[in-house]
Amino acid sequence: MKFRKSAFLIIGLLFVLSTVLAGCGGNSAGGQGKTLIYGRGADSPKLDPALVTDGESFRVTGNIMETLVQYEKDSMNVTEGLATEWKNSEDGKKWTFKLRDDVKFHDGTKFNAEAVVFNFQRWMNREHLGSKKDDFIYYGSMFGGYKGDKGHVIESVKAVDEYTVEFTLKKPQGPFLQNLAMSPFAIASPKAVKKDPSKFAEHPVGTGPFKFKSWKKNDSITLEKNNDYWKKGLPKLDRVIFKSIPDNSARLTALQSGDIDVMDGLNPDDAKRVEKNKQLQLYKRPPNNVGYLAFNMEKKPFHKKKVRQAINHAVNKKGLIKSFYANLAEPAKNPMPPSLWGYNDKVEEYEYDLDKAKKLLKEAGYEDGFEVEFYAMPEPRPYMPDGRKIAEYIQADLKKIGIKTKIVSPEWQSYLEDTQEGKHEMALLGWTGDNGDPDNFLYVLLDKDNTKIPAQNISFYKSDKLHDILIEAQKETDQSKRTEYYQKAQEIIHEDAPWVPLVYATPPLAGQSYVKGYVPHPKGTESLAEVDIQK
């Protein structure tokens, strides 16, 4: 049995004694039961999923709150959630959902159709309980804006009876069902939100397998078992602690010493070490992401297409992958991964060619290059294990064509806010797909609708031609026709070059051998309801 040394610093002696024994499986003398400590690279900015876009927040909230429909345990296929069945009208504009009648929120209040209506009203209205419409950034991205906006998709949400809810759409939306399964659209307790809307993001209340217990900022978040969970026999764990350990190597050391049970953000170079260690197990998250370098097209010289194309030719992606990904990635050429339907493999990648890059810069009027500020992520992400070092690698590439870069790395929350507000000139970022639909990459990250601050489209790329295609693709329900739209969209994006698509990564994770039932999900976060500790 390995004692959790760092826990003494985290919570104190009494709690340590319980978590030590809990981590070994079975019940401790203090009755605390099984505790799983999940090591991750950064803290959660907020714990209201409707207010965030980052995986570290969804990793926690996905275990507290649930959606009407959800994805299967190991795929992006939609299955039952808080709703048990659903149907769509022939014209595609009316969706009806039958809800579970045996579910309660963690505060003891009843989950029903009125609770669903309350949540959607909260997200869609310009102002609701003191919130601003832009607080709910994902709602605006996935449903064409907010109530009253020209492109808003959801016309109304109403309770037909206590356990039936009906959505009326202004127009059909191809990815509507997939969208509803996304983490931001988890159903919150209306009572808890009304009690203190501004504090809900610090003390979430849902219907999920675990209840929020405590949050020590920049250190740990503790969840406790929901003994009244509607899925009988679950969860198997009594407690989950999400522990922030920013450095990947330090996180692996904590795993090896028994201080944590599971970790994400494993350095690709360490994957083989984990495989050889009989006390550990290696996981590989299915590739469903893209890491990219974004140009802020509202700032010179990135308003010029040839400058953006030049930089695409100047970045050595294969060298980057060899240096930082241990070949657990492949070079990207489109802003969505090849694992997703609709991927256009006929697009020709910008080959690594410094002469072409210099020629394009000269034609753009920048023969002598220029200087630019370059945002590099301060925290490891699934698609980018070390943003700072990757930025330095790209910095050396760009220097070869006369572009001088100053790398800046504000803390993670500021990094997200700065890029969403367009304060950057160039920035590294990435995206793990939320719903298994190309719309979630192409529309969310690159449509002109999503350049409103806080922007999801941090290139501030505005193409009417692209917009028209993406909107038609949303309205279409035939997947083969949608595929044609998305393949054309990728051609337009490739030509305009608002990004350098860098990599499609296969993120490695690691866990103790005694952890059972942990299945990394393609969307980047997973429920821990079925995870167990068996020693």
d(CA 40, CA 17): 23
**Homologous superfamily assigned to 215-285+508-533:** Periplasmic binding protein-like II (3.40.190.10)
pLDDT of amino acid 132:
57
Domain regions of the chain by residue span? 65-199, 215-285+508-533, 289-505
d(CA 466, CA 443): 9
pLDDT of amino acid 136:
87
The domain defined by 65-199 folds into: Dipeptide-binding Protein; domain 1 (3.90.76)
CB 217 within 8 A of CB 99: no
pLDDT of amino acid 522:
94
pLDDT of amino acid 4:
40
Closest CA to 243 of 411, 38, 24, 524: 38
pLDDT of amino acid 129:
52
pLDDT digits (tens, 9 = 90+) for 366-395: 999 999 999 999 988 889 989 999 999 999
Longest dimension (CA), the chain: 74
pTM score over 0.85: no
pLDDT of amino acid 175:
92
pLDDT of amino acid 18:
39
Distance of CA 320 to the CA centre of its chain: 23
Determine what percent of the chain is predicted with pLDDT higher than 70: 92
Q: What is the DSSP string of 251-298?
A: HHHHHHTTS-SEES---GGGHHHHHH-TTEEEEEPPP-EEEEEEE-TT
pLDDT of amino acid 126:
62
> Which residues of the chain fall below pLDDT 70?
1-32, 126-134
CATH architecture of 289-505: Roll (3.10)
Q: Which two tokens stand for residue 127?
A: 């102002």
